[in-house]
Amino acid sequence: MKIVNSIEQLRKLLNRQVRQRQTVGFVPTMGFLHEGHLALVKKAREENEIVVMSIFVNPTQFGPGEDYATYPRNEQRDAALAAEAGVDIVFMPDKDEMYPRVGDIQIFPGKQAEVLCGASRSGHFDGVLKVILKLFNIVDPDRSYFGMKDAQQLAIIETFVEDFNFRTTIERVPTVREKDGLAKSSRNVRLSPKERSEAPVLYEALQLGKKQLEQGKEASVVEHEVAQLIENKTSGAIDYVALLAYPSLQPLTADSEEAILACAVNFEKARLIDNVIVKLKDELPCSE
């Protein structure tokens, strides 16, 4: 496995002539790798001749007061895990390599970013699309792999790729969970023992909501029941519980084929998100 820190180095390694028609699978991460990231690598390894992983804590997607400075980092451990998983090239740039100057050009993700995490994290998805655009231009991957845990981010990136005719294909990978149901996340290490014991309630509540939705309960009722269970069984503060069409992230309509039931909960030092995707039946009710 090769570790590179510069854009120029990476482009030389991935030059079209060097590739010799080999496909490139790309796994963008912010590091502190866990089984969820490695599941992305596994699928990329199965489907491509070359697997590239980026490890970069992107400052443009963190807002004032968020955890950019304290986001967990361990490059040596990450490199070892990536090598063991079968990554061919790890791209580890620093902030100055990715953002050598402050630019005035901005990317606005639209209505999909106005709900869920975007409602309380102004500018977050602007920063996500900025770094994704740069990474796609640098790596020029044939396929790019994203986990369903960050379902809003995935929906926005899929729209971005489709609307702006990127060459890459976006591949969805299911959320990887702990045995108790908690979604794998780099931020889980920042939970206190008490919070860690409470955190699986998020998935428990979402599963309850999914069952109620499938039984025909209205969206507002489902959201209320999910929120109530989280409030009753955790010490976290709910940012949102929402039921929307997926991947449009708009209110459900009679034509909606899939729905996302999602939540975000703030604990003392960690903000956790989770979601379930629900296949809709014709008879299910829609929100107003």
- DSSP assignment of the chain: -EEE-SHHHHHHHT-HHHHTT--EEEEEE-SS--HHHHHHHHHHHHH-SEEEEEE---GGG--TTSSTTTS---HHHHHHHHHHHT-SEEE---HHHH-SS---------GGGSSTHHHHSTTHHHHHHHHHHHHHHHH--SEEEEEGGGHHHHHHHHHHHHHTT-S-EEEEEPPPB-TTSPBP-GGGGGS-HHHHHHTTHHHHHHHHHHHHHHTT--HHHHHHHHHHHHHHH-SPEEEEEEEEETTT-S---TT--EEEEEEEEE-SS-EEEEEEEEEPPTTS----
* pLDDT number for residue 114: 96
Range of the domain at 112: 2-173
Number of domains in the chain: 2
Q: Annotated binding residues for ATP, as ranges? A: 30-37, 147-150, 176, 184-187
- Do residue 135 and residue 212 come from a single domain? no
- Do residue 166 and residue 190 come from a single domain? no
Identify whether the C-beta of residue 31 lies closer than 8 Å to the C-beta of residue 179.
no
Query: Average pLDDT in the 222-248 region?
Result: 97
Q: Annotated binding residues for (R)-pantoate, as ranges? A: 61, 153
Q: Is residue 178 part of a domain?
A: no
- Cα separation, 85 vs 180, whole angstroms: 24
Q: Is residue 141 part of a domain?
A: yes
* Cβ-based burial of 285 (10 A; exposed 0-12, middle 13-18, buried ≥19): middle
- Cα separation, 103 vs 99, whole angstroms: 9
Query: Average pLDDT in the 133-144 region?
Result: 97
Q: Is residue 286 scored above 90 in pLDDT?
A: no
Least confident piece of the model among 20-24, 188-192, 239-243: 20-24
Structure tokens at 66: 């968020």
* pLDDT number for residue 281: 62
- Do residue 58 and residue 167 come from a single domain? yes
Q: Is residue 181 part of a domain?
A: no
* pLDDT number for residue 24: 97
Catalytic positions are 37
Nearest Cα to Cα of residue 191 among 283, 80, 84, 271: 271
- Do residue 30 and residue 92 come from a single domain? yes
Structure tokens at 20: 């010799």
Query: Average pLDDT in the 68-72 region?
Result: 93
15-50 residue pLDDT tens: 877 788 899 999 999 999 999 999 999 999 999 999
Q: Is residue 112 scored above 70 in pLDDT?
A: yes
214-227 residue pLDDT tens: 888 999 999 999 99
Put the strands of the sheet holding 89-91 in their side by side order. 2-4, 89-91, 50-55, 24-29, 143-147, 169-173
Task: Give 245's strand partners.
Answer: 259
- Do residue 159 and residue 198 come from a single domain? no
- Do residue 65 and residue 139 come from a single domain? yes
80-100 residue pLDDT tens: 999 999 999 999 999 999 999
Q: Annotated binding residues, as ranges? A: 30-37, 61, 147-150, 153, 176, 184-187
Identify whether the C-beta of residue 156 lies closer than 8 Å to the C-beta of residue 112.
yes
> Would the pTM count as exceeding 0.85?
yes
* pLDDT number for residue 288: 45
Q: Is residue 75 scored above 90 in pLDDT?
A: yes
Query: Average pLDDT in the 50-61 region?
Result: 97
The mean pLDDT value of the chain amounts to 94
252: CATH:
3.30.1300.10
